[in-house]
Structure 1
Amino acid sequence: MLLFELSFPILVDESKLYFDGIGTSYNNSLNIKGGTSCSLCSYFNSFSAGKYRKYTLAQNITFNIKIQGFAEIFIKRENGNIITSRLIENSKPEALSITFSIIDAKDGEIFYPEISAKSDCQIFGGSYETKVSSQRDILLGASFCTYKREKYIISNMERLRDFGLKYSIPLKVFVVDNGSTLPETLSDNTITIIHNPNCGGSGGFARGLLEGVNFGCSHIIFLDDDISLDTNVILKTYSLLKILKPEYYDSFIGGAMLHSEIPYLQHECGALWDGFYLSPIGHEVDLRKKESVIANEKLQKADYQAWWYCCFPTSFGEKFGYPMPYFIKSDDVEYGIRCQKPIITMNGIAVWHDGFDGKYAGHFEYYIKRNELINTALHNKNTGIITNIRKLFASTARLTLLQRYFLAELVVKAYDDFMEGPEKLLSIDIAEYNTYLSSLAKPANDKSIIGNAKIISKPKIVNSALYYPSFGGNIFPSKNICIELPLTDIEIRKTFRARYIAHTKADGSTAFVTKLKKRKLFWVVGKTIRMFFKFLTKYKKVRADYIHNQEKLTSKQYWQNYFSK
């Protein structure tokens, strides 16, 4: 059975993600100069021996390679010890197979091939295979949720269509189009376009899961529409599902996120949730380095898997329910925590994804805070009153110091809506409510308000001992300056005594300009204090209501009713 094929740089030009040594890649082949060695101890081409031993029925693996030239091919452990080797010499491309055992592989250990070229050699491809007597029948579904991103989604559709033609793998692709802009004529035997109301990622993925269940898929992969996808990842996922040990049938298979802008840099490989805060695993790891590739297989157990690439059995819908109707943000967190099932990650199962700085929108502040509150209410064993109150004050204070008063109000509204209990979620039309929230988060971009203020593109960071006791300098008269700050990842101490702030996008253009309004600042503080008392007195009852109504909010019936409107 084919597990996966060797990959060479196609989607990104980062050779060390694929091989290490003096070699050049061209047209899905690899040229190695005589007298040099080329190692496949890389992120995409090494073999996750420890994880295949732990999670699957595989015991012996066959490495296949098609090569021309005189070379010795080694299979090595991650410490460099040789497991086995073969010598080959030919004047034309010839297939060679080497079989090795993974029975003694340690947890998280990788094995890898290394080619020692005695003459100039050329590799025309390769693969890993195994023979397993017991294999499951898998009908794999893949669900994209998209909204007016034709450039990305059509490219991914074409890759999957080509993938279906190349491999005899039962695959059905559902493209849930929340914008209803993709022609339904793009549908074929492999791909189905589904026009859906704009109910966000939560509703889009819920629809994808429903369609997968109705089609008879055994498993579904949730994928973001704006990823760059090497379809070898789909092959690797499918073959893994086929040979899983029975005790791991009910597992997630998670794909890491690599940065599109910096293709060798890993953003996340699974993530943790401590009941209040999220933290990525394997954050900012340089996967060009051998030591990073080895360490990446030994990362800690994840609590949830983000939905840029997340595969799981469709039976989870019946066992654990469907996504919460959050619209966007933290629906993947909540689902992973709710299911409480193992998350299998592995080198080579990954997608490239744009960073999040360019995707920021003001109303995200509402969704982040409201959905965090619901997640904590449902899944944190402690009540969470003190931490949630602290987060309320921290969020509104930060946004007011950034002069984003309208967003501070949205945070208070998130708390207010949460305090209305699950009936609020059950009663609203999430698409219409998103339109309403978006309208509250659109400040005027009037640069003329800064007048003759001095523009400072690189403001200095003020000492904390001065900044925080003076509430960002707001107890002093403001200076007639306009500082430029990014929309995200902000060092807030740069705002000291600034009268204006130009909030800039990732490309450097101005998103909007704000002006210091001390009366508005104190008004937001007042609303925050009132919410503090409301939260303190009513939180326990509201939390109990969410727990009691969780099954109703995540039911198949809820989403069927919504989609039938």
Structure 2
Amino acid sequence: MDVLPLYVDPDRPQLDVDKSPLTMTQRGKLPPTEPNAQVEPDPHAVLGRYRYQVTENQRVSFGTYFNGFAASYWRMWTVVTSVTLNVRVTGADASVLVYRSMPNGRAQRVDSAIVEGASGDFSFDLSLSPFGDGGWYWFDIVAGPDGATLEEASWVAEVPADRAEPGTLSIGITTMNRPDFCAKLLAQIGGDADVHSVLDEVIVAEQGTQKVVDDPGFAAAQEALGDKLRIIEQGNMGGSGGYARAQFETLEAGRSTYMMCMDDDVVCEPESIVRAVTFGDLCRKPTIVGGHMFSLYAKSRLHSFGEIINPYRFWWHSPPTVETDWDFAERNLRSSRWLHRRIDVDFNGWFMCLIPTQVLREVGLSLPVFIKWDDSEFGVRARSHGYPTVTLPGAAVWHVPWTDKNDALDWQSYFHQRNRTIAALLHSPYEHGGRVVRESFNHQIKHLFSMQYSTAELRHLALEDVLAGPERLHGELLTKLPELRALRQQYDDARTQAQPDYFPSVERKKPPKRGQDPTLPKNRFGQLVSAATSAVRQARPVRELAQRHPEARLAAMDAKWWMIAQFDSVVVSMPDGTSSAWYKRDQDEFKSLLARTIEIHQRLHREWPQLAQRYRDSLADITSPEAWAKTFEANAAERQDG
């Protein structure tokens, strides 16, 4: 039931649902007998991978995420100029209705056919010429009095002779102590015959201590993939080291047209792999083809629909026309205007990303940065060589959403800070990196006001390592993470506890001013007042009682810097809900870290032009297969000696 809205849509479209007398939420509360009630897909109507039953006189649309045809993307990026929709339907008097959409989501009826007799096979030839800025094709089925069954449907195209031979791919999966997830993913990939037809090899970079080969589900994965599965054990080099290994091995084998990066903790729609390869085969030039990300916990919710990088801030975000966290169970494709406009991107996350081997040979492998920014930097680097990235609708995985993680505060904050700065040094068009240095300083002050001293210290270390230059990146792949974890544990804000009553009870010497709960969310004015008073508070001694008892408890969703900074000590929940930490204000620590913050950022701004040139001069070398080969060899020798 959770994924059905991505495939079939029995509901009527409502483009301007917010302007409608009945919103989607209100329609969902109406009894099914009401004419305006929301209609949900029937799971019992699914008869197989390709077959769907439509009850008598019912109308069902296949204008959905996985079954619609994203015509504007094929029109923009590929050699395809027209597409043929083939539909086979059984059921007397059933109708097949074909539609197209405009970039603003308005639908137009294109063609139709009626089943005469017991069954019908229909072909509709459809031009892609009017889809310059956006638009989809799809079809609906209206059953007759005896019902109807969609037996099969496909979108096919005539292509030039030199494009007729399909490319093949190797899939690279980096895994780290997720054996159950990884084993299930391997079985999903291996269990699809269409994927096998284009698959050369699945390369698993095993970097953990809990091995995928020891999981009970691995036997099924091994049987499904056979000799197309290869496990390579290496030290923990993060995602960049794992994906670089798969990229390197793919180039060494010399047989695949593409290498696909895929996370180990995803649920895959195998058809997406075939679609990405097909799209890549037909692109006008070698093109990186990415998939979208749906939430693993709310499977109809689209979490990522492509990313761009603001060159002045050098920060990634969704394009301005994208609606984030879009729930297709509430508003499907035909009811969503923004989904019909073509979305162009700068990069695609490596949770699912198809990279032509030609691109790898020319621009190099992953940047040796462990995690964070390896995928985005690669997209920008490839674009600078003339190779675009396309995030393709209809190709996707289900993944844990970023909003459920705490990677901006824990040990990963080091890699966020260091790798964003390195990416900006490599690719920012501005002499001093635009806003990068200023934003880094501002974030550092917020962490200091929030008593997140461990995060501030890791970010300092990140910038110091940036200033040291690119020469150490390969050598630190295996050593940096243990160093960061050991350093964090010296700070109270990094010591989390799972037991809710582990910390002392909340106590305050004075009651809240005017009885107002200081932990409640604040409006814009309240935020500004908190920010101003918090700056003054840093110069005052820590309240004595706050050293023994927290002054409040804050939920993770409320733990913004201006909320935390009101207190001298506070217990803060972690975003995943599993633990909490006790933040304590320390005047001496604050002063020391503030002084270092000022000095480091002044130096970074001053040295930026020369530092950027150093990184750019070394980029080709540190991302080359030869440099990565030395790293892999050194790691193998170290593991053997150990």
TM-score, normalised with respect to structure 2? 0.79
3-state DSSP of counterpart to 2:589: helix
The answer to whether the 8 Å contact 2:288/2:388 transfers is yes
Deviation at 1:142, TM superposition (A): 1.3
The answer to whether the 8 Å contact 1:377/1:383 transfers is no
Query: Residue 203 of structure 1 corresponds to which residue in structure 2?
Result: 241
* Distance in 2 of aligned mates of 1:277 and 1:52: 28
The answer to whether the 8 Å contact 2:280/2:288 transfers is no
**Structure 1 residue 49 corresponds to structure 2 residue 74:** no
**Structure 1 residue 26 corresponds to structure 2 residue 52:** no
The answer to whether the 8 Å contact 2:195/2:273 transfers is no
* Distance in 2 of aligned mates of 1:525 and 1:291: 52
**Structure 1 residue 235 corresponds to structure 2 residue 263:** no
The answer to whether the 8 Å contact 2:280/2:286 transfers is no
* Distance in 1 of aligned mates of 2:160 and 2:481: 51
Alignment of 1:372-451 (within 5 A): 372-384=420-432, 387-426=435-474, 428-442=475-489, 443-445=494-496, 450-451=503-504
**Structure 1 residue 461 corresponds to structure 2 residue 461:** no
Query: Residue 73 of structure 1 corresponds to which residue in structure 2?
Result: 96
Flag structure 1 segments of 5+ consecutive residues without an equivalent: 1-8
The answer to whether the 8 Å contact 1:357/1:487 transfers is no
- CA deviation map 1:463-522 (0-9, x unaligned): 133222223544556465443345678422222432323232334232422222122111
Deviation at 1:406, TM superposition (A): 1.4
Query: Residue 270 of structure 1 corresponds to which residue in structure 2?
Result: 306
Paired residue for 1:302, among 323, 345, 348? 345
**Structure 1 residue 122 corresponds to structure 2 residue 149:** yes
* Distance in 1 of aligned mates of 2:340 and 2:262: 22
The answer to whether the 8 Å contact 2:451/2:565 transfers is no
Structure 2 counterpart of 1:101, which letter? L
- CA deviation map 1:306-355 (0-9, x unaligned): 11111121121221011110000001111111110222233211221111
* Distance in 2 of aligned mates of 1:560 and 1:492: 44
Alignment CA distance shift 1:38-1:357 (3 Å): closer
Q: Please, what is the CA RMSD of the aligned residues?
A: 2.7
Paired residue for 1:366, among 388, 401, 414? 414
Deviation at 1:540, TM superposition (A): 2.7
Deviation at 1:250, TM superposition (A): 1.4
Query: Residue 548 of structure 1 corresponds to which residue in structure 2?
Result: 617
Once the two structures are overlaid, the 10-residue window that deviates more, 131-140 or 200-209, is 131-140
* Distance in 2 of aligned mates of 1:95 and 1:238: 31
The answer to whether the 8 Å contact 1:285/1:292 transfers is no
3-state DSSP of counterpart to 2:552: strand
Alignment CA distance shift 1:227-1:355 (3 Å): same
Query: Residue 533 of structure 2 corresponds to which residue in structure 1?
Result: 470
The answer to whether the 8 Å contact 1:258/1:350 transfers is yes
Deviation at 1:294, TM superposition (A): 5.4
Alignment CA distance shift 1:62-1:333 (3 Å): same
The answer to whether the 8 Å contact 2:72/2:342 transfers is no
Paired residue for 1:284, among 298, 316, 325? 325
Alignment CA distance shift 1:182-1:390 (3 Å): same
Deviation at 1:533, TM superposition (A): 3.4
Pairs aligned (count): 549
Query: Residue 292 of structure 2 corresponds to which residue in structure 1?
Result: 256
* Distance in 1 of aligned mates of 2:184 and 2:480: 31
Structure 2 counterpart of 1:336, which letter? G
* Distance in 2 of aligned mates of 1:329 and 1:166: 29
Structure 1 counterpart of 2:96, which letter? I
Paired residue for 2:561, among 469, 492, 495? 492
* Distance in 1 of aligned mates of 2:538 and 2:47: 61
Query: Residue 173 of structure 1 corresponds to which residue in structure 2?
Result: 202
Structure 1 counterpart of 2:138, which letter? Y
The answer to whether the 8 Å contact 1:363/1:440 transfers is no
* Distance in 2 of aligned mates of 1:316 and 1:489: 44
* Distance in 2 of aligned mates of 1:220 and 1:292: 35
* Distance in 1 of aligned mates of 2:198 and 2:608: 50
* Distance in 2 of aligned mates of 1:165 and 1:543: 46
TM-score, normalised with respect to structure 1? 0.89
Deviation at 1:152, TM superposition (A): 1.4
* Distance in 1 of aligned mates of 2:556 and 2:411: 13
**Structure 1 residue 504 corresponds to structure 2 residue 524:** no
**Structure 1 residue 139 corresponds to structure 2 residue 179:** no
The answer to whether the 8 Å contact 1:297/1:346 transfers is no
The answer to whether the 8 Å contact 1:267/1:280 transfers is no
- CA deviation map 1:141-173 (0-9, x unaligned): 211111111121111110111114776334422
Deviation at 1:139, TM superposition (A): 1.5
Alignment CA distance shift 1:104-1:389 (3 Å): closer
Deviation at 1:397, TM superposition (A): 1.4
3-state DSSP of counterpart to 2:533: coil
Once the two structures are overlaid, the 10-residue window that deviates more, 470-479 or 126-135, is 470-479
Deviation at 1:45, TM superposition (A): 0.9
Deviation at 1:382, TM superposition (A): 1.0
